[in-house]
A = this chain, B = another copy of it.
Amino acid sequence: MADKSISKRSRRGSGAITLKDVARLAGVAPITVSRALNSPAQVSKEVHSRVQEAIERTAYVPNRMAGGLASSRSRLIAAVVPSMVFSVFNETIEALNGTLFDAGYQLMLGLTGYSEEREALLLDSVIGRRPDGIFITGIMPPGRSRSRLIASGIPIVESWDLTPTPIDMLIGFSHQKIGRAVAQFLIKKGKRSFAIVTAGDERAQRRNTAFIDTVRALGLDEVAVHNVGDIRTLRAGRAALAALITSQPSIDAIFCSSDLLALGVITEARERKIKVPAQLSVMGFGDVPFVGDMIPALTTVHINGGKIGRLAALHLMASSQGNAVQQPIVNLGFTIVERESA
């Protein structure tokens, strides 16, 4: 009956209070403490309060790594997002995090910086944590990453786009329809000479292509495209207008791939005393919180980012508990919010 703590081998572990310590203090078996914590209904009132007291006195905090390993449930959800800084994904992440937290889950955040290489690395690292679910911004094209994701067996929510073949679940909207709708909106406003100010990412390109095709189908002038690549700043938006106005002075409407770029275009227009929307209509994408309260208020495409986050959290949690997916594809749609800038 040697005391375990005086074993021959030197001590391992973190030295923190464990379930065992609490159990000893409460005079019960470790498993009873586990039950008092996880399914109190299975424990008698008397034992429960004794355990509670022991937990208080020791300031015990259960080790969720150990719990996760034993139960194959980590209560961790991972989110893979391109960027955080003033991005359209912020609301989604806040909503995701809030919904998860209220249910006892935690959020692991991964940022790809719009780089596919980084995304692949990140995904492997994420899978290694064995999260109960993974939220992905965008859809996973066939390839190594997609295969690994599927092989991992972890519930996946793809988002922010549409495809008939999601891995698991999908909450999104059609970028093609947005491009078309924006073009039609602008044309209906009487605009005839269009330009696009866009970042380099693939989803933006699909909006652009649809926009261009719609304009082209009507036999209007070619759409001038200014691509800012990875520089999604307000300043890039200003520079874009400066460049466009020189090369193609006839432009009377610009569709931007983000609200921030649109703000840049509007700012530069003001600098150049170009009247928005009288001389130039400007539209953004995202409907980020404050753009509706600026002067001129931005006309833009509204995406319900919060809802994407909440739905994703709910789906992921349900799915990890073995509940079948009700609706594998949810099309949240979008709305054009008409304000002053177009």
A72 to chain B, nearest CB (A): 5
A residues 139-183 in Cβ contact with B at 8 Å: 147-148, 151-153
A148, B111: Cβ atoms closer than 8 Å: no
A318 CB within 8 Å of chain B: no
A130, B97: Cβ atoms closer than 8 Å: no
> Which one, A2-10, A20-28, A101-109, A199-207, is touching chain B?
A101-109
A residues 93-142 in Cβ contact with B at 8 Å: 93-94, 97-98, 101, 104, 106-111, 113, 122, 124-130
A101, B122: Cβ atoms closer than 8 Å: yes
A290, B65: Cβ atoms closer than 8 Å: no
B69, A66: Cβ atoms closer than 8 Å: yes
Could you show 11 A-B contacts with beta carbons less than 8 Å apart? Answer: A13-B72, A14-B130, A76-B129, A85-B289, A94-B111, A101-B125, A104-B125, A107-B109, A233-B290, A234-B293, A264-B290
Are A65 and B293 CB-contacts (below 8 A) given A90-B86, A111-B94, A111-B98? no
Enumerate chain B residues within 8 angstroms of A14, measured Cβ to Cβ.
72, 130, 153
A260 CB within 8 Å of chain B: yes
A residues 238-273 in Cβ contact with B at 8 Å: 238, 260, 263-264, 267, 270-271
Enumerate chain B residues within 8 angstroms of A108, measured Cβ to Cβ.
76, 106-109
CA distance A16 to B234 in the complex (A): 47
A93 to chain B, nearest CB (A): 6
A334 to chain B, nearest CB (A): 19
